[in-house]
Structures are given as C-alpha cells and as structure tokens.
Amino acid sequence: MKCNKYQKLALKSVDYGCGRPIEYPPYGLCGEMAEVLSEFHSCSHGDDDALLLEIGDCLWYISAMSDDIGLKLSYVLDVKDLKDVVPYPCPASNLPIFCGTVAEQVKKMVRDDCKRLSTARMNKIVGALRGAARCLQGLANEREVVLDRKGNLIGYSLNEAAYLNLDKLKTKREKKGSVG
C-alpha cells in the first residue's frame, strides 16, 4: 500500500477528544509500542494477527503525528510504499528508544519552545518516527507464519498491518462514529 494512501485513509478516523494535535499522538504511540512488545514477547504463532493489529495501531499514530507536523507519511518513512520499509536491527530493543525520543522532543517543544516546532526538533521527530516504523517492520518480519502460493514461509510487513488496521478502523467507525 502506498504510504500516503494509508495516511489519507487512516486520518479519516482522527478524533483526539480533548487531546491536542502533535501532543496526543506521542502518548498513543508509546502506549501502543508497549502493547506491540507485549504481544511480540508473548504471542504464539497462532495469534500473530494480534501483533499485526498492534503494529497497525502504532502505524496509525506515526501517520497522525506526521500529519500533525505537516508532513506526508512517505516523507517521514522515506519510502513511497509501506512494503519498502527496511527493517531495523534488534527491533524489540530499539523501538522504545525511538518512541521515547518522539515523546521527549514533543515535551521539549511544549516546555521550551512555546509549542512552536523548530526545524531541528522536527528533524529529530521525523528520524525517530522513521526508526520506530523500521522497528515495527522488523518485528513484523520476525513472525514468519504466512505461506505464499508455493507453500514457502514468508514474513509479515507493515503493509499487512496497514490493511488490518484500516479494516479495524472501518469497523469501529461504523459502530461508533470516529476513533482515535
């Protein structure tokens, strides 16, 4: 799936409630990252959809954060298509670092910069979001339970997580209006 197509579709479900743009997504990203790692460390091979759903939730927050800072997801991820995201080494160890960096940079923007996003801070956020996405790709790849048409085991990717996430968002929207 093209990054910007996913972003456009995913953003139809943005509803931060009382939260504020650019400040709300880091909270969500950190929470979802914890759920990804919990699923990754505990899921059996029969429940990899749960892991992919959590990865999709992280991708949603990365997409929302990208939009909040005025950037296309393809720019932030430095690829045009989600299937082209290059996995980061040691993803389970590095994902918390990248998510924490996003949260730290937003905290400093609010505290030190009167909520104005400087180019330097934006570049740090973009780098951390890109790193987080690469870690998510790496975690998805480590779950090799899908068979291709020839019966070979292949890994999951952000692409599959995006499709699952959009299906979940559509179902939630149909049930209660909007999600966030």
Q: What mean pLDDT is predicted for residues 40-55?
A: 75
pLDDT tens readout for residues 104-150: 999 999 999 888 899 999 999 999 999 999 999 988 877 655 445 55
What gap in Å lies between CA 41 and CA 132, rounded to an integer? 17
* Residue 141 maps to a domain: yes
Count how many domains the chain has: 1
* Residue 151 maps to a domain: yes
* Residue 155 maps to a domain: yes
* Residue 179 maps to a domain: no
What gap in Å lies between CA 65 and CA 70, rounded to an integer? 9
Domain carrying residue 82: 3-174
* Residue 22 maps to a domain: yes
pLDDT value of position 176 = 74
Chain center to CA of 12: 16
* Residue 180 maps to a domain: no
- The radius of gyration of the chain's CA atoms, rounded to the nearest angstrom, is 16
Exposed (0-12), middle (13-18) or buried (19+): which is 22, by Cβ within 10 Å? buried
Q: In the chain, what percentage of residues exceed pLDDT 90?
A: 55
pLDDT value of position 81 = 93
Residue 154, sorted as left (phi over 0), alpha (psi -120 to 50) or beta, turns out to be beta
pLDDT tier at 48 (50, 70, 90 boundaries)? low
* Residue 27 maps to a domain: yes
